[in-house]
Amino acid sequence: MLVGRGCGPSHCLWGRDLGREVKRMEKTKVEIAIFFCTHLRARVQGILKGSSGSGADRFRPVALPCSGKLEVFQLTRALESGADGVALFGCPEDACRYLAGSLRARGRVGHTVRILEEIGLGKDRVRRFVVETQPEQDLLQDFSGWVERVRAMDRFRKNHDGKVRNSTPAAEGEGRA
Amino acid sequence: MPKKYHLKPKTALSRSVPLGPFGIIEGDGCLNCSKCVKKACAYEVYQKRAYDAQQMTDTADSLCKNCFRCVQECYARILSKSANPEYWSMGDDYWTPEIIGTNQRQAESGKIPVSGGGYGGPFAGPGFDSMWTDMSEIVRPTRDGIHGREYISTAMELGRACQPAAFMSSFGPEGGGKSGGSPRVEISVPFLFDLLPFQDSTPAVLAAVARAAKEVNTLMVLPAESIAGELAFWAWHLVPLLPPGNLGRFIPLIQQCRMVQILADDEAPKRIEEIKGYRAEAIVSVRLPLTPRAEEKVEFLLESGVEVIHLLADEKGRELEASTPQFIKDRIRNIHQLLVKKGERDRVTLIGGGGIALAEHVAKAIICGADAVSIDRPLLVSLECRLCGQCKKGESCPVGVGNIEPGWGRQRAVNLVAAWHGQLLEVLGAMGMRDVRRLRGEMGRAIFREDIERETFGQIFGERANIHRPAAQHVQQGEEVRVLAT
């Protein structure tokens, strides 16, 4: 994200090559926490392997017995502890082996998304992917697209004291008057 | 009176939250009861519940003792339990999650694992589970118990036993009074620390294990090239594995270490002679893979004057290079009995390695004829390793084994040794034995399931296939998580 016009290297008041900084920000790596139902392990592993070229530095997968096990606090705390986005892979609601697990997961993810939207962190940071019988390529495309949207969002950074603060990529490259 | 061997275990808490075998699933529809079952939990799981940022898990899963009180008593029936796939995918079909979990708990506390609910099994199975050890004297405890004045020794000597002729010639009229016997090394527990399969080049891990080897008074096998810097300080407790080729650059190590190790190849006799030339007191051990031809190689090495033979199976205790591999206990039995028949058993020390996963395996391997065993994976497990193998694939370790503080790692390894030592004392005490050296080859103090099958049921039903059923089905990648009852 650029703030202001791109002046170009020779015109930048602060001597910075803003063009180069934008390129660097575009390739900034993100940390994605991935929770998945254990019955989808093979498919999720395939997606993660296929996504490794999209620039995401750190995928942190955690297997669950059912996507319905995930609590709201696990989603929010994952963001708090440094993840830029959280993905939940679950089974279709009528195919959940715990009967209501997927339905429950839908509700909890929805609740978390509303909280994030309300506090201004962006509703697309937490996303639920329902793994049906769609081709892996479609799911991979969907997931990769979401990762790119997360990459474009504000990044969580940690201060020297370890506390997370919000920072915009542009703020790091922005000149001060 | 010699000082009694005593280890000092001290609680060394895990750095990461241990994975629990089952997880709590909380459904929707809570009634907000005034007498919530969560408040009534005897273990205060819900009060202590937290979020583990490192593993992104709910700590309630590891705190829960699976008493099912909250599941039963919740009016809305919203609580249930399920198998935790992260736990059940640890290790493999030999190094099961239970083995990893119990070793980690022993490394944390230094205590013998006791559940308080009796032993739940397995009572039989493949590998070491097909041996049942003698417990006949357990009803005749000594007055002070096994830790009392009737001391049970777990010390073992490595090297060739003093031969009667040499003893007589040394102490006879012309002997001059000096002992002409071969050099011996005494270790206080009958297990050595072997080459680590993972994290084998991580300085912190090597330093921790080397310090532990010193503290428990045993030996640690390391590649000779890696013994430098801080590690060289503990050379007295290290066994450098010398590479093939010129030994010139390792002369200082040979002169400092009590035992050295070489690979079993055709050059072994020459290298043994060379090493003895540099230092006659250095004990030379030969690292011999346990293949179908191991007996031949043992006889060849015996002729070369080797003092210690380190027999190695694979990580699951299976024979190498065999189409139907036998288990390490059966191979050690064969080799031991061969040497006994030839009257040469005391000329060599046998160390068995590969598949030693629990304390009881130490005693069982010694019963089969080994003088001592070597352990590798249990040491890593004590440092919280989950044997996932990710480090070998170049991926990051989920628990950061490479970042341990060596002092903490030392204590964890010492705790594990203390727990295993305690269990060895229990096994020996139950047999009424006071010295682990007397256990060597005492196959009459164990029942072997295969022998019983053959001698009893075999005469009625003929040879039965698959008498060994695995205790629990390990989850494979992509499979459902299922835990079978034994």
Domain B156-449 has CATH 3.40.1160.10: no
Q: Name the pairing type of β-strands B259-263 and B446-448.
A: unpaired
- The verdict on a CB contact (< 8 Å) between A69 and B25 is yes
**Six-digit token pair at A25?**
């920000």
| Percent of chain A residues topping a pLDDT of 70 | 68
pLDDT at residue B165, rounded to an integer: 60
Phi first, then psi, for residue B442 (nearest 5°) are -80, 70
**Six-digit token pair at B156?**
């073992």
Q: Assess whether pLDDT exceeds 80 at residue A109.
A: yes
Q: Which position has the token pair 């030839």? A: B342
CATH number of B22-83, picked from 3.40.190.10, 3.40.640.10, 3.40.50.2300, 3.30.70.20: 3.30.70.20
**Six-digit token pair at B246?**
């010129």
The chain A residue lying nearest B82, using CA atoms, is A65
Band (B164; pLDDT cuts 50, 70, 90): low
pLDDT at residue B17, rounded to an integer: 87
- The verdict on a CB contact (< 8 Å) between B25 and A78 is no
pLDDT at residue B439, rounded to an integer: 96
pLDDT at residue A174, rounded to an integer: 35
User: Which of A117-126, B405-414, B458-467 is modeled with the greatest confidence?
Assistant: B405-414
The chain B residue lying nearest A33, using CA atoms, is B56
- The verdict on a CB contact (< 8 Å) between B56 and A33 is yes
Domain residues of chain B, as ranges? 22-83, 156-449
- Closest CA–CA distance from residue B161 to any residue of chain A (Å): 54
CA-CA distance, B239 to B371, in Å (whole number)?
17
| Whether A49 contacts chain B with CB within 8 A | no
CA-CA distance, B442 to B437, in Å (whole number)?
10
Band (B369; pLDDT cuts 50, 70, 90): very high
Of A60, A69, A81, the CB nearest to B23: A69
Burial level of A142, CB count in 10 A (0-12/13-18/19+)? Answer: middle
Phi first, then psi, for residue A60 (nearest 5°) are -120, 90
Q: Assess whether pLDDT exceeds 90 at residue B468.
A: no
* Each residue's pLDDT tens digit, B221-264: 999 999 988 888 899 999 999 999 888 899 999 999 999 999 99
Going from the C-alpha of B398 to that of each of A59, A162, B479, the distances in angstroms are 12, 20, 21
pLDDT at residue B202, rounded to an integer: 87
* Each residue's pLDDT tens digit, B406-437: 999 999 999 999 999 999 999 999 998 999 99
**Six-digit token pair at B434?**
């006071």
Q: Which of B351, B239, B252 is nearest to B284 (CA)?
A: B239
Interface probe, candidates A31, A35, A36, A38, chain B, greatest B C-beta count within 10 A: A38
pLDDT at residue A57, rounded to an integer: 65
Which domains can be identified in chain A, with CATH numbers?
A: 29-154 (3.40.50.960)
pLDDT at residue B388, rounded to an integer: 86
User: Which of A113-122, B95-104, B452-461 is modeled with the greatest confidence?
Assistant: B95-104
- The verdict on a CB contact (< 8 Å) between A69 and B89 is no
Can you give the pTM of this predicted structure?
0.84
Local structure of residue A28 (DSSP, 8 states): -
Q: Assess whether pLDDT exceeds 50 at residue B3.
A: yes
Interface probe, candidates A29, A32, A36, A41, chain B, greatest B C-beta count within 10 A: A41
CA-CA distance, B354 to A113, in Å (whole number)?
51
Band (A52; pLDDT cuts 50, 70, 90): low
- Is the separation of the CB atoms in B283 and B277 below 8 Å? no
Q: Assess whether pLDDT exceeds 50 at residue B382.
A: yes
Which residues share a beta bridge with A126?
A86
Burial level of B210, CB count in 10 A (0-12/13-18/19+)? Answer: buried
* Each residue's pLDDT tens digit, A130-144: 998 778 888 899 999
- The verdict on a CB contact (< 8 Å) between A74 and B51 is yes
**Six-digit token pair at A48?**
């993660």
